[in-house]
Structure 1
Amino acid sequence: MTRLSLPIIEERNLLWSGALILVGAFFSLAFACAAPLAGFAAIAALTSARRNALALTAAIWFSNQLVGFTMLHYPLDFETLAWGGALGLIALICCETARFAARMSIGAGAPFAALAASFLVYEGALFAITRAVGGDVSHYALASVARIFAINAGAFFGLWALALVCAAIGAGRRVASLRV
């Protein structure tokens, strides 16, 4: 890597992170409790270095909570705050799980493996916590989980396509900067 390409990479990473956080906030407005945190954790794991991916996942979770409490008027009670904290922790675990699954997969299967692993951990953890606290698990019926997966997959693959476009633009800009 040449010195000329470093500012472009830093600029692209900052723009990419900002875009993911803004899109995450939009999804939080659109889907409230069904915001695709597993999909965002997987895309962060695939497009950023480990530390940045975890920080990005935390920032997306924070934007989700900020939208929830300020715009969607989530109640400020212990249960809501505890679930919010649990979602953040689970999202970070999903990011690590997605990174591991992508490393263990072969070739073009990495994005699919990352999303599947992240989603399974996310929904599995939420189900386990709900069951442990004696909550109603009827909303984990196949139709509900399939809907949540569709939202996560749509977000993930839309962001994956955007990441490919950004990478192509960044590669083109690096080549152009080397010619100057």
Structure 2
Amino acid sequence: MGNSEAAIAPSFQRMNQWETAHRSLAQSQLWSFLLIAIGSASSFIYPHPPLVGLAVIAGTTIARPKAIIAAILIWLVNQIYGFSIRQYPQTIESLIWGLVMGAGTILVALIATVRPQFSRGRWTGHSLWLGITVLSGYVLFEGIVFLVGQLIGQSHVFTLKILWGILVKELVWAIALGGIHALLLISAMRDRPTKNNSQPSSNL
């Protein structure tokens, strides 16, 4: 019994350490700013940036209020850039599509912030939830685009090649940003024991 408890204890310590570091990073201004900056820069690379991947990373790695703000800011930069530099047509239809993209981005970010119990405390659970939300968010986002297109009579062309290309783009960005977040998380986990060890002992 004692041996099993001794084996379980380090596992719980690692889980607590992971979740503590994750929560600390979720409240960090640095990571929020970095994600918003990278997400905004993506609008200069693509006419249609990977809003689903960005929203998922925001929702799974940032506290909910900040995640929603990040998603809105990334979408807003895309719209400002689109209507100014890319010269989107200033029509009601363009405005509707912009609002649809914004609503879809916020909805995906909200879903990602749910973070069920299995996704907390371990890399595997977090990665699994990240994958689930990217795929489900992609289906939801593209489904909204399709339905709105049917309603306003401006449906987009959905071929398997186009859909696959969009999905790959979302996955690549989600994986890349997830990797950056993982590096920051590892750094935070390494720094925490050092800080704890530097504190004076209460027994002295």
**Pairwise TM-score range, normalised by the shorter structure:** 0.7 to 0.9
How far the C-alpha of 1:133 sits from its partner, in A, is: 1.1
Contact kept? 1:38, 1:91, Cα under 8 Å: yes
How far the C-alpha of 1:20 sits from its partner, in A, is: 1.2
Deviations 1:36-55 (CA, angstroms, capped at 9, x unpaired): 11111111111012222212
User: Which consecutive segments of 4 or more residues in structure 1 shift more than 6 A?
Assistant: none
Mapping of 1:61-72 within 5 angstroms? Answer: 61-72=75-86
Distance 1:42 1:162 in 2: 14
Report which stretch shifted further, 57-66 or 71-80.
71-80
Distance 2:163 2:178 in 1: 22
How far the C-alpha of 1:129 sits from its partner, in A, is: 0.6
Identity in percent: 23
How far the C-alpha of 1:176 sits from its partner, in A, is: 3.1
Please name the residue that 2:116 is paired with.
103
Pick from 147, 150, 175: which aligns with 1:131?
150
Structure 2 unaligned blocks of 5 or more: 1-15, 120-124, 199-204
Higher share in helix? 1
With the length of structure 1 as denominator, give the TM-score of the two structures. Answer: 0.84
Please name the residue that 2:201 is paired with.
none
Distance 1:115 1:43 in 2: 9
Please name the residue that 1:87 is paired with.
101
With the length of structure 2 as denominator, give the TM-score of the two structures. Answer: 0.75
How far the C-alpha of 1:16 sits from its partner, in A, is: 1.1
Q: Which has the larger radius of gyration?
A: 2
Please name the residue that 1:58 is paired with.
72
Distance 2:184 2:27 in 1: 8
Deviations 1:125-148 (CA, angstroms, capped at 9, x unpaired): 0011111111143x2111101101
How far the C-alpha of 1:174 sits from its partner, in A, is: 2.9
Contact kept? 2:56, 2:112, Cα under 8 Å: yes
